[in-house]
Amino acid sequence: MGLMSKWTDGERVAPEPLEGNVVATTVTGTVIWGVLFLAQLPFYGWYADRGHTWWIWTCAAGAGLGLVGIWYVRRREAAIRRSAARSAEDGQTTG
């Protein structure tokens, strides 16, 4: 068998996903995209002359999608907290 078969034959168990502060990570990324967008705006003409305006709009899209991401991860975190609280209540009432 080849070297890659041990990775693809299903014998290896996938590791558990790492949980970090996803809200802070998403906010940081969104801020970076927003700052890049704002920093490039004064040079729009320079980018347009060279056909690189897509750089500016990529940063705008990154910031916009980041805002959606912040909304999503905040709701996810709230749902996880609600689920944990519900599980704790169930454990106290049945235990």
In order of 55, 82, 91, the CA distances from 64 in angstroms are 14, 28, 41
* pLDDT, tens digit (0-9, with 9 covering 90-100), for 20-63: 899 999 999 999 999 999 999 999 999 999 999 999 999 999 99
Q: What is the rounded distance in angstroms from the CA atom of residue 11 to the CA atom of residue 17?
A: 18
Q: How far apart are CA 22 and CA 10, in angstroms?
A: 29
Q: Side chain identity at 93, as an amino acid letter? A: T
Residue 11 pLDDT greater than 80, yes or no: no
pTM (2 decimals)?
A: 0.74
Burial class for 59, CB neighbours closer than 10 Å (0-12, 13-18, 19+): buried
What pLDDT is stored for residue 4 in this prediction?
A: 64
Q: Please, what's the b/e burial string for 71-84 (b: 16 or more CB within 10 A of its CB; e: otherwise)?
A: eebeeeeeeeeeee
As a whole number, the mean pLDDT across the chain is 89
